[in-house]
Amino acid sequence: MTGALVTGCLFAAGLGGMYLRRHLPADSLTPGTIMLLRRMVTALTLMTAIMLGFTTVSMKSSFDTADRDVKRLSAQIIELDRALRRIGPDAAPIQDLLFRYTSRIIKDTWPERHSRLPVGPIAPGELREQLRNALEALPALGPTRVQSIIEARVILRDIVTTRLMIYESTGSPLSPWLTAALVVWLMVTFGSLGLTAPPTPIVVASFFLLAIALGSAAFLIEEYEDPFSGVITVSSVPMENALFRVAE
């Protein structure tokens, strides 16, 4: 939606510049005026390109960080499952809790993609506390078992930390003021180009293609803003693999 809106605004600004040129007095656009406009457009374009590139890189970096955190969380869940298996049959109820906890995380993080995943009414925080309490209640019956229990507790703490990092990665929206400033700068640039460009079909088509290209950049920024919703999202495959591993 944002990409289409930006494309329309930029193309309209370019056409507006062409329209304004046709209705200006003949002596308004002197060679000196055109040269000044081109220099102003060059400076504005450079500033816009820097800000647009910085914004895109920043959003993409946040997206990649969320992707790494999801992969780390899936690996930690698999490691916790292995530790529970080493503990023995007494840990079977805890493995069931881990399965329910993982299912709940997947359902809450990707609700549209996993809308049919069966989960109970218990919230992830409560399931996490049940996991912690169950690990604390396990009896220590030997040094090997004690080591596995300690390892499981450490992994669970790491899971909580990683889960918090993933949750925080969805709470950093792009400033609307920055977005508005970038769009205004681009519209001024297109309008100025329209003032100095001949109104030929090739120029109009070039304006349209350039508006589409910049609109697609706005679309990517919007998609990278929230890693877990939209068209481009962090893959849930690592968590699905972890869930299958726990269910074995």
Condensed to tens digits (0 to 9), the pLDDT of residues 49-65 reads 888 888 888 888 888 88
Residues whose CB falls within 8 Å of the CB of residue 105, separated by 6 or more in sequence, listed in order = 73, 124, 163, 239
Indicate whether 121 pLDDT > 80: no
- What are the distances in angstroms from CA 21 to CA 184, 196, 203? 20, 8, 14
Q: Would you list the domain boundaries of the chain?
A: 1-248
Report pLDDT for 116.
Answer: 66
Per-residue pLDDT band at 71 (split at 50, 70, 90)? very high
**Residue 30 neighbours by CB distance under 10 Å:** 9
Stretch 211-240: mean pLDDT: 84
> pLDDT tier at 27 (50, 70, 90 boundaries)?
low
Cα separation, 14 vs 190, in Å, equals: 5
How does residue 17 score in pLDDT terms, banded at 50, 70 and 90? confident
What percent of the chain clears pLDDT 90, i.e. is strictly above it?
A: 6
Q: Please report the pLDDT score of residue 114 as a whole number.
A: 61
Q: Is pLDDT of 72 > 90?
A: yes
SS (H, E, C) the chain: CHHHHHHHHHHHHHHHHHHHHHHCCCCCCCHHHHHHHHHHHHHHHHHHHHHHHHHHHHHHHHHHHHHHHHHHHHHHHHHHHHHHHHHCHHHHHHHHHHHHHHHHHHHHHCCCCCCCCCCCCCCHHHHHHHHHHHHHHCCCCCHHHHHHHHHHHHHHHHHHHHHHHHHHCCCCCCCHHHHHHHHHHHHHHHHHHHHHCCCCHHHHHHHHHHHHHHHHHHHHHHHHHCCCCCCCCCCCHHHHHHHHHHHC
User: pLDDT higher for 213 or 114?
Assistant: 213
Q: What is the pLDDT of residues 73-106, one digit of tens each?
A: 999 999 999 888 888 888 888 888 888 888 888 8
What digits encode the pLDDT tens for the residues 164-187?
888 776 655 677 787 788 888 888
> pLDDT at position 128, please?
84
In this prediction, what percent of the chain has a pLDDT beyond 70? Answer: 91
pLDDT by residue (tens digit) across 137-162?
Answer: 877 777 777 788 888 888 888 998 89
Residue 172 confidence (pLDDT):
56
Give the per-residue pLDDT at 235. Answer: 87
Q: What's the mean pLDDT when you consider all of the chain? A: 82
What's the pTM? 0.78
pLDDT at 26: 66
Identify the band that residue 117 occupies on the pLDDT scale cut at 50, 70 and 90: low
Q: What's the whole-number mean pLDDT along residues 198-217? A: 86
